[in-house]
Every structure is written in structure tokens, then in C-alpha cells.
Amino acid sequence: MSAVQSELDLSYGQRYQGITIPEAYERLILDTIRGDQQHFVRRDELKASWEIFTPLLHKIDRGELKPIPYKPGSRGPAEADELLEKAGYVQTHGYIWIPPTL
């Protein structure tokens, strides 16, 4: 087996045909049995994520920030790609989005 460089794409079942990928809970239970903590969040990471997202959630609740809707199963809103471009992100390695079959 060899590593394959890929952009973050969670539609593995369609992208990597013929590979058995454990279900999410199967993977977590197996990792727990093995003592592998790499897929678990540390306490300090969880605290930091709440410190980042709580103010955003409060702004959404107050109507100060409106989430941008997008179609389920898609890559997300077009504005996300625009934000990446503004930040200087350059797509490499010939990545092609393969929409999942829902």
C-alpha cells in the first residue's frame, strides 16, 4: 500500500473504489481498543474550538451574521472558493471534485 496525496474530500467511497473503509463508529471503537488517540480531540483543542466558534454562534443567534446556504452533498457555497482565492490558495495536483451520489 502507498500513500496518495489528495485534497480534503470526504467522499472516499466514490473516490477510492475497491477499498474497505470502516464506518465512523467502527473506526473509533477499533482505535479505542488499540489505544490510538489520533482521531480524538484533546481537551485543549476542544476548549480552543469553543473559544473560536462561540462568538460566531452568538452573532448568528443575534442575526448579525447570516450563514450562506448551499446544497447538501456539494462542495459548499461558491463564496468559499472565492474566499480561498482571495487568501492566495492555488489548487494543485489536478484535483477534480467528484460529487457524491446521494
What is the b/e burial string over 43-68, where b = at least 16 CB atoms within 10 angstroms of the residue's CB? eeeeeeeeeeeeeeeeeeeeeeeeee
Choose between 102 and 65: higher pLDDT. 65
Tens-place pLDDT, residues 14-41: 667 777 777 878 888 888 899 988 888 8
* For residue 47, pLDDT beyond 60: yes
φ and ψ at residue 57, rounded to 5 degrees: -65, -40
**Which tens digits make up the pLDDT trace of 51-99?**
999 999 999 999 999 999 999 888 889 999 899 889 888 777 666 777 7
